[in-house]
Amino acid sequence: MTAPAPPEWWFYHLSRTPLETAAPPLMQKCLEAGWRVLAVSGSEDRLAKLDMALWTFEDGAFLPHGQAKAPGLNPARQPVLLAGELANANGAEALFLMDGVEAPVDAAFRRCMVMFEDADTAARGRARAQFKAAKDAGLGTRYFQQTPKGGWQEAGV
Look at the chain and count its residues.
157
Domains and CATH numbers, the chain: 8-154 (3.40.50.10110)
Q: Which pLDDT does position 81 carry in this prediction?
A: 98
Q: Which pLDDT does position 3 carry in this prediction?
A: 53
Residue 123, classified by CB atoms within 10 Å of its CB into exposed (0-12), middle (13-18) or buried (19+), is buried
Does 135 score more than 90 pLDDT? yes
What mean pLDDT, rounded, does the chain reach? 93
Q: Which pLDDT does position 28 carry in this prediction?
A: 95
Mean pLDDT throughout 38-50? 96
pLDDT in tens, 60-87: 777 899 999 999 999 999 999 999 999 9
pLDDT in tens, 97-120: 999 999 999 999 999 999 999 999
- Contacts of 109-114 with C-beta under 8 Å, sequence gap 24+, read 109/7, 109/38, 110/5, 110/7, 110/8, 110/35, 111/7, 111/8, 111/9, 111/10, 111/30, 111/35, 112/7, 112/8, 112/9, 112/10, 113/10, 113/11, 113/12, 113/26, 114/9, 114/10, 114/11, 114/12
